[in-house]
Amino acid sequence: MTIKNNLQKIKNSLPKKVTLVAVSKTKPIEDLMEAYKAGQRIFGENKVQEIVNKHPQMPLDTKWHMIGHLQRNKVKYLAPFIDLIHGIDSLKLLKEINKQAIKHDRIIKGLIQIKISNEITKFGMTAEEAREMFYSKEFKTLNNIKIIGVMGMASFTTNKSQIKKEFLNLKLIFDSYKEFNPTMEVVSMGMSGDYNLAIECGSNMIRIGSSIFGIR
Ligand SMILES: *Cc1c(COP(=O)(O)O)cnc(C)c1O
């Protein structure tokens, strides 16, 4: 199967409201270009250095999503062009993104990463921590970052009912935020192995790597 075929097969199976992020980490520009030529515009990477290297090599209308853990001291490299930052997990990081966005006269979009698995290695805030942050005075002063939703990663397990429970939980958390914050629109959950289940549970943004580009 070619990248183009993989992409078309996935796209044809997706409900209209679901946005596909093509996760191109570790893959060469030729692979990204093949996806681009097949109509894909949104690409996800998890390393700042890799996005910064690839960004100038791709057409201008390519949209870049940072899906990995983002260190505060590296925000400045992404601020000029990043379209969406998925993994925001602290007020400190938000403040830095806001500061760098001001420098570039941009409003940067972001998702709050919520910890939905019970694995200790996963990044993210608890639902309560995020809610507290939304209501803090400081949060309200951050005018150059726009939080448009949440992101989560399910536990690394083959236990489908466990994964489903975690996805449904993230959707519930999203709904509770959306009640008070109508600008919330994105639920980013689901990868190659579990995106159909994620969509069933209310995802409207999926991050797919290996099912498009092959194993890494
Ligand atoms: C690598 C990665 C993906 C894509 O994983 P696949 O299993 O290859 O689809 C999705 N989300 C995040 C945060 C990732 O790091």
CATH code at 106? 3.20.20.10
Q: Give the integer Cα–Cα distance in Å for 163 and 125.
A: 18
pLDDT at res. 1: 74
Q: Work out whether strand 19-23 and strand 145-151 pair parallel, antiparallel, or are unpaired.
A: unpaired
Whether the pLDDT of residue 209 is over 70: the answer is: yes
172 CA distance to ligand 1 middle (Å): 22
Q: Does the CB atom of residue 151 touch ligand 1 within 6 A? A: no
Count of CB atoms within 10 A of residue 210's CB?
Answer: 13
| Domain encompassing residue 186 | 3-213
Given pLDDT bands bounded at 50, 70 and 90, which one contains residue 122? low
The C-alpha atoms of residue 87 and residue 78 are separated, in whole angstroms, by 13
| Cβ–Cβ under 8 Å, residues 136 and 91 | yes
Structure confidence at residue 170 (pLDDT) = 98
Q: Please, what is the average pLDDT of the chain?
A: 96
Predicted confidence (pLDDT) at residue 181 exceeds the cutoff of 90: no
Testing ligand 1's pocket by substitution, the residue of 207, 208, 213, 215 carrying the most ligand atoms inside 8 A of its CB is 207
pTM for the full predicted model: 0.97
- Among 67, 122, 151, say which to mutate for ligand 1: greatest number of ligand atoms within 8 Å of CB: 67
How many domains would you assign to the chain?
1
Q: Which two tokens stand for residue 83?
A: 């379209």
Shortest-distance atom of ligand 1 to CA 46 = 15
pLDDT for the residue numbered 121: 66
- Other CB atoms within 10 Å distance of the CB of residue 167: 24
Question: Using CA positions, which residue lies closest to atom 12 of ligand 1?
Answer: 67
